[in-house]
Amino acid sequence: MGSASRLDAGPREASSHKRLLRNYILDKKLQLRYVLVVTLLSAAITALLGYFVWYQQNYASEKIQEQLARPDMSWLSVQMKATIVQALTRSDQSLLLKMVTVGLGLISVLSLFVMVMTHKIAGPLYKIGKYFDRIRDGQLPRVHELRRGDELQDFFEKFKEMDESLRARTKAEVEVLERFLGACRSAGMETSRDLSHCLDELHAMKRRKELALSD
């Protein structure tokens, strides 16, 4: 039973990880473009700075080896000189390895940071796009607040004000239609063949506006 439960937990954990990653990548074209630019730029800067540091270290090692090769350094044994050269070589290699590790870590951190920051922009844009789709389909959904920390707060507030204005205007139109159709019913105008078709269209318009206001 324990083995089976572990096997069942594995796919769920992988699926949860995929869902979390997919939640952060809402707009691949936008987010991955910025991540790629920042990755390449940070890689170029890190490589350039790392080269200068390594060049200075390597240059100092070469100068020390040149000093060891001078005739006045003959008082050092060949074994001692070889030990010093090996130590310098290990130091250069260790510095190179450390710079590569730090560079890769820096690039990874910057890329993740850009991913999170672009998510804070792509999230509101994705949400607004969904609202636009519903408005295109004839609905006027109630706009909810963005999450704390999301960008485009001012723009989203303007969008929310526009939606509330449209909803208020549509509600007023529904009320006018309701009063007009009620007056027509009271006056017995719905029985008139000439007005029946027009009144049916007004009833249909009123229903569409009421459905648009439903959440």
Note whether 183 and 127 are same-domain residues. no
Give the whole-angstrom CA distance, residue 72 versus residue 184. Answer: 118
| 34 part of a folded domain | yes
Q: Are residues 118 and 159 in the same domain?
A: no
pLDDT at 8 over 50: no
Between CA 207 and CA 122 the distance in angstroms is 35
165 lies in the same domain as 81: no
Whether 164 has a pLDDT exceeding 80, the answer reads yes
Give the position of tokens 């063949």.
193
Q: Determine the Cα–Cα distance for residues 100 and 106; give it in Å rounded to an integer.
A: 10
Specify whether 163 is located in the same domain as 198: yes
Q: Residue 199: its pLDDT value, please?
A: 73
Question: Phi-psi bin for 149: left (phi > 0), alpha (psi -120 to 50), beta?
Answer: left
Confidence band (pLDDT; 50, 70, 90) for 135?
confident
Most confident of 21-25, 46-50, 118-122, 183-187: 46-50
Query: Where does the pLDDT of residue 79 fall: very low under 50, low under 70, confident under 90, or very high at 90 and above?
Result: confident
Q: Tokens for 172, please give them.
A: 């007023």
Q: Which H helix or E strand runs over 76?
A: none
Structure tokens at 191: 């029985």
- The pLDDT value recorded for residue 204 is 79
pLDDT value at residue 75: 74
Domain assignment of residue 6, yes or no: no
Please choose, from the candidates 98, 15, 115, the residue with its C-alpha nearest in 3D space to the C-alpha of residue 50: 98
Please compute the mean of the pLDDT values over residues 32-38 and round it to a whole number. Answer: 86
In a shared domain, residues 120 and 166: no
